[in-house]
Amino acid sequence: MSNELAIACAQLNPIVGDIAGNLALARKARAEAAEMGADLVVFSELFISGYPPEDLVLKPAFQQACREAVETLAVDTADGGPAVLIGTPWHEEVKTYNACCLLEEGRVAATRFKVDLPNYGPFDEKRVFAAGPLPGPVPFRGVRLGIPICEDIWEDEVVECLEESGAELLIVPNGSPWWKYKHDLRLNIVVQRVTESNLPLIYINQLGGQDELIFDGASFGLHNDRTLAFQMPAFAEGVALTRWEREPGGPWRCVQGPMDVLEDNEELMWRACVQGLRDYVAKTGFPGVVLGLSGGIDSAICAAMAVDALGADRVHCVMLPYRYTSNESLVDAAACAEALGVRYDSVSIVDAVDGFTAALKPMFDALPADTTEENLQSRARGTTLMAISNKFGPMVVTTGNKSEMSVGYSTLYGDMNGGFNPIKDLYKTEVYRLSRWRNENHPRQCLGPAGVVIPQNIIDKAPSAELKPGQTDQDTLPPYDTLDDILECLVENEMSVAEIVSRGHDVETVKRIENMLYIAEYKRRQAPPGVKITRRNFGRDRRYPIVNRYRDHTI
């Protein structure tokens, strides 16, 4: 029986579908672990395929390619170096499982299958995987390892089975998406399982952006007394060595490992948006991004995030002025571009809008001007940015926040044009708060300059789309602190109108916002993806019908 074990935790950023690339990442991490003297290197859930692979898992050729990659990696372990614990889809007979494979001595020494397949929020695993049987521990160099996979620790059954069948140390591969406050929730779940089983636990989590999901890493371990064994950083790749020892007859304890400190919530939110944008651009192959810089807060924060993600040389900002664009906005946009060090151009949309107006004049002449004419401005801007994207190759970043997306204050084929939106899941009040925070802080892993990157006047002035003279957002919306509280009640918490009114909100305002939320569903279905920040983002987490006549009449 071994009383020492060196376990390397590979907190890495796989790409969904890049089986060869993910295999290369695993080989590189194993070589690094070997130099550290590791006995075992542990990877995250479904590492070989990338997570979540969604319906790719249904393709027999994909299943076979994943299996071949795992078997190739298994052959590598005949060299006497570290064994490997790695996640992969695994097809047996007529079923495909979410599996974790132990690779040792040149072979696949053991497989364990995920039991509890999540089917809520962003997860749809019952669609593509079969549930595995309750697992027993895996023997490894005289130690009995329990390997519950991600969701398997969110209830007690799997860990209880492992404890009762003799497991000594739990290693949990995860593809756990981040959202604000997720760290506390994870820790609470892990503490429950450790308390119930009296077993130490290693929690290894994926890093990186995948479409709208963001994985923060932040891998950690707990001793059986619930004290922190080690902590890896959030939003940073790395292979970390942990050394575990056991006194004869006693529990395993970590005697060496990293002890990083996780950042406060504002920094984690900022870095999540940055990581999500960086990975979306990199993994889809765009050379950079272009966005409209209006002089307003939303485009300014998106520009700052883009520079933090990609560097100033890969960000192109364009002012798209019309007759209603104020001189203040022109000055503020130029100042923001200068602070960020990006390329900045100005392309007037006057001729484009006037051309549309003239073409439509015979049909529209007898009718008063309304939002139709305002939307022509937005659509001219969207078309201009898409033309720049088509000509030069950068992806268009859209800049609508969650408050606007909730109530439909966005224009189809206008400001919604683009490939990705880093602030899609940030409410307007959060946009302001994070803008102030970024001006005072320089986050880790960010490429932009320190200091003020969003001019103070952009933060201070009243928000406006500037689609008509003297326009402000509060002409037609309640103040954003009121609006955002109502929206959070409706979207995140599914509260009734009566419950929201009991918080001090006007009943007619709540009903109006609820109606605006429902009727804007068709727009959100056509919006580009964006980083998931809240517990319930639009898209994966909240699936409402477009045709929907339900309204809350409880008050």
Cα torsion angle, 105, 110, 116, 118, sign: positive
Which residues are known to be catalytic? 45, 114, 150
Torsion sign over Cα 483, 486, 488, 492 = negative
Helix (H) or strand (E) holding 144: strand 143-146
- Report whether 423 contacts 532 (CB < 8 A): no
- Cβ distance 421 to 527 under 8 Å? yes
Q: Is 4 in a helix, a strand, or coil?
A: strand
Neighbours of 527 (CB within 10 A): 19
> Which two structure tokens, joined as six digits, stand for 452?
């003020």
Pair of tokens at residue 343: 């390329």
Q: Report the relative pairing of strands 343-346 and 213-216 from DSSP bridges.
A: unpaired
Q: Which of 380, 373, 389, 243 is nearest to 316 (CA)?
A: 389
DSSP assignment of 433-468 equals HHHHHHHH---TT--SPSS--S-HHHHHSPP---SS
Select from 554, 523, 528 the least CA-distant residue to 544. 523
Backbone angles phi, psi at 506, to 5 degrees: -70, 130
Q: Which of 434, 462, 471, 458 is nearest to 330 (CA)?
A: 458
The candidate with the shortest Cα–Cα distance to 489, out of 546, 436, 552, is: 552
- How far is 135 from 506, CA to CA, in rounded Å? 54
Closest to 513 (Cα-Cα) out of 529, 531, 489 = 489
End-to-end CA distance of the chain: 67
468: its two tokens: 């008509």
CA pair distance 237, 13, nearest whole angstrom: 7
Number of Cβ atoms within 10 Å of the Cβ of 387 = 12
CB neighbours of 475 closer than 8 A, spacing ≥ 6? none
Phi–psi pair at 501, nearest 5 degrees: -60, -35
* Nearest by Cα to 367 from 353, 355, 357: 357
Alpha-carbon span 357 to 342, nearest angstrom: 33
Q: What span, in angstroms and rounded, lies between the C-alpha atoms of 270 and 435?
A: 9
